[in-house]
């Protein structure tokens, strides 16, 4: 029976992933309804923020009366009124006899109360099926609920010896087209993509999502002295929200050089650079719950040094630069011994067409 539950939970997770980039700040949720022979009768997912939750869609999509059937969902059904009515109440009303749940909802408004309500109604409840996979699926939502901060991932593309640009400092493609497509998929998953003024000046990136049916994340540039040109590609008025975070010492006159589609936010500084903790707090309050950092060595170092990085995704091409003047993806730490390194936990490795993709989590 457990194997059948796991099979159905994997289906829920697959369904939920189809809503990447569409449901934030809500969690990713998929749901299936099944009969006594473990045949899937109906399925649904939370498709867009503010719209029906996965359980409600699965029930609405059912071709028959769901009374006496069972339901699998990767996150505990809600028991409170938000944008939509409580899913736990609907499950009880429709006569579902068993509910299999991946993980308890970390939202303190729910946090076990939905499970308790189902049990009190006489429904058989199973909790914790593929819990690790379910938690990984909603890692962003969990961090948001537990510590009220954005989930931050640093993305890099390097040679085998960790280089991101050669001595000419001219931007070049390091990885192949398959790796670059994986990056577009990542951009589609995050609320915002963040970079530095130095990267904008040197590389003049667009920072858009160039995949079919993808959506552009909010673009955020950390520019302490407002040194980036208003004509930079990243500031194009393509309907995507653009934010510049600058020093609180910058004059309003200097801010006026940027087009009206750009929001300039003044922020405190630390060591003559934007105070990252202050900046992340501001962005979180503005509804940005997840951030993909695509930048250079110094800012990467700062995110790690300030203990702000949750995850590192590194695309490594089978190339060796072998030049001490080339730039590493991270630099600036004052470490004398390897024993003083930041230790990360490797979560997965994936061999792509030519390159390798490594996903690591911070242990801090």
pLDDT digits (tens, 9 = 90+) for 337-355: 888 888 899 999 999 999 9
Tell which of 120, 143, 166 closes a domain.
143
What's the CA gap between 151 and 310, in Å, rounded?
6
The pLDDT of residue 146 is 94
Let me know whether 82 and 216 are in one domain.
no
Share of the chain above pLDDT 90, in %: 82
Which residues 6+ apart lie within 8 Å of 35 measured at CB? 41, 69, 70
Let me know whether 321 and 208 are in one domain.
yes
Let me know whether 139 and 154 are in one domain.
no
What's the CA gap between 182 and 138, in Å, rounded?
19
Q: What is the pTM of this model?
A: 0.93
* pLDDT tens-place string over residues 5-15: 999 999 999 99
Report which secondary-structure segment, H or E, holds 153: strand 151-158
What's the CA gap between 84 and 78, in Å, rounded?
10
83 has pLDDT over 80: no
Tell which of 128, 143, 158 closes a domain.
143
User: Taking phi first (over 0 means left), then psi (-120 to 50 degrees means alpha), and beta for anything else, what does residue 71 get?
Assistant: beta
Let me know whether 178 and 133 are in one domain.
no
Residue in 275, 348, 354 with CA at minimum distance from that of residue 313: 348
The pLDDT of residue 364 is 57
pLDDT, averaged across the chain? 94
Let me know whether 186 and 327 are in one domain.
yes
Q: Strand pairing partners for 73?
A: 31, 101
**What CATH number is attached to the domain comprising 62?**
3.40.140.10
**Which of 43, 47, 51, 55 is an active site residue?**
55
Q: Strand pairing partners for 158?
A: 316
Let me know whether 133 and 234 are in one domain.
no
- List the domain range (segments joined by +) for residue 191: 149-362
Tell which of 122, 143, 164 closes a domain.
143
Q: What HEC string does 269-280 produce? A: EECCEECHHHHH
Let me know whether 24 and 75 are in one domain.
yes
Is position 55 annotated as part of the catalytic site?
yes
* pLDDT tens-place string over residues 125-137: 999 999 999 999 9
Let me know whether 40 and 123 are in one domain.
yes
Let me know whether 23 and 170 are in one domain.
no
The helix/strand count (H/E) of the chain reads as: 11, 18
Strands 311-316 and 356-362 turn out to be: antiparallel
Lowest mean pLDDT, pick from 32-46, 245-259, 321-335: 321-335
Q: Hey, what are 139's tokens? A: 């890692």
Task: State mean pLDDT over 304-316.
Answer: 96
**What CATH number is attached to the domain comprising 243?**
3.40.430.10
Report the number of distinct structural domains present in the chain.
2
Let me know whether 158 and 136 are in one domain.
no
Let me know whether 127 and 270 are in one domain.
no
Residue in 10, 30, 1 with CA at minimum distance from that of residue 98: 1
Let me know whether 82 and 100 are in one domain.
yes
What's the CA gap between 22 and 352, in Å, rounded?
26
Confidence of residue 209 (pLDDT cuts 50, 70, 90): very high
């Amino acid at each position: 029976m457990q194997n059948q539950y796991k099979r159905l939970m994997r289906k829920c997770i697959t369904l939920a992933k189809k809503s990447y980039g569409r449901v934030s700040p809500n969690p990713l949720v998929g749901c299936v309804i099944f009969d006594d022979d473990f045949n899937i009768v109906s399925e649904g997912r939370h498709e867009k923020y503010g719209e029906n939750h996965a359980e409600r869609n699965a029930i609405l999509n059912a071709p028959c009366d769901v009374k006496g059937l069972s339901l699998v969902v990767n996150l505990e059904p809600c028991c409170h009124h938000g944008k939509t009515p409580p899913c736990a109440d609907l499950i009880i009303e429709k006569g579902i006899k068993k509910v299999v749940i991946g993980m308890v909802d970390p939202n303190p408004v729910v946090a076990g109360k939905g499970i308790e309500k189902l049990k009190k109604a006489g429904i058989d409840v199973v909790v914790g099926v593929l819990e690790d996979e379910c938690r990984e699926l909603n890692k962003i939502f969990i961090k948001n609920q537990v510590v009220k901060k954005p989930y931050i991932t640093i993305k890099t593309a390097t040679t085998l010896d960790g280089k991101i640009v050669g001595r000419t400092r001219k931007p070049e493609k390091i990885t192949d087209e398959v790796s670059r497509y994986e990056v577009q998929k990542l951009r589609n998953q995050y609320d915002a993509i963040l970079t530095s003024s130095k990267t904008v000046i040197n590389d003049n990136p667009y920072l858009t999502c160039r995949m079919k049916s993808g959506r552009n994340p909010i673009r955020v540039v950390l520019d302490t002295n407002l040194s980036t040109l208003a004509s930079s590609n990243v500031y194009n008025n393509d309907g995507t929200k653009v934010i510049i975070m600058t020093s609180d010492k910058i004059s309003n006159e200097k801010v006026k050089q940027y087009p009206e589609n750009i929001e300039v936010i003044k922020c405190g500084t630390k060591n003559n650079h934007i105070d990252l903790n202050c900046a992340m707090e501001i962005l979180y309050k503005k509804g940005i719950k997840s951030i993909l950092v695509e930048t250079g060595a110094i800012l990467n170092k700062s995110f790690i040094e300030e203990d702000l990085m949750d995850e590192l995704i590194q695309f490594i091409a089978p190339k060796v630069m072998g030049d001490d003047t080339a730039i590493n993806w991270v630099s600036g730490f004052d470490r004398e011994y390897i024993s003083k390194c930041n230790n990360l936990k490797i979560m997965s490795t994936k061999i792509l067409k030519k390159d390798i993709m490594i996903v690591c989590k911070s242990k801090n």
